[in-house]
Amino acid sequence: MTGEANLRPGIPRGERGAITVADRVVAKIASHVAREALSRFTESVGRVPPGRRTPHVTTSVRRAPERNTAGRDAESAAGRQAVLGEARLHITVELGYPSDIGAQCAAVRREVTERIRAWAGMEVSDLAVSVEQLHSAHTRHTDRERVR
């Protein structure tokens, strides 16, 4: 034990090592949060068929650059939050129609950005929300016909 402490005496025990968050973990968090954000819009939720509600997420994660150990005495370890990396996300959703599409997409963007920062310790550099399909009361009963 004492040999380990002597190898890296300048770095406190709690800051040694590395933490990585996989792309799929960030994607699962984003999918869960997007589903939760969309569930608050009751006018839209009732029109989307039950099996089609899960948002699809494409993720790209880049690790944070190595931190410089110089100047750590000036910063308080408790006062700063470590950023583990940067995430780029593309979320595809299906929404009910008519509904406030812009408000739903904005809620997804806001909540996913906040939760990825809080839960995964990552900054979201780019987040695109795409509406893949709109479901209305007229199209719910048949998938083959198209409303014109």
Beta bridge partners of 134: 95
What is the identity of the amino acid at 38?
A: L
Pairwise CA distance, residues 57 & 34, whole Å = 9
User: Average pLDDT for consecutive 10-residue bins of the chain (148 residues)?
Assistant: 58 74 90 92 75 79 66 45 82 90 95 94 93 80 57
Q: Each residue of 54-80: pLDDT tens digit?
A: 788 988 888 776 655 444 544 444 444
Tokens coding 140: 């719910």
Beta carbons within 8 Å of 56's beta carbon, 6+ residues apart:
31, 91, 92, 132
- Give pLDDT, residue 97: 87
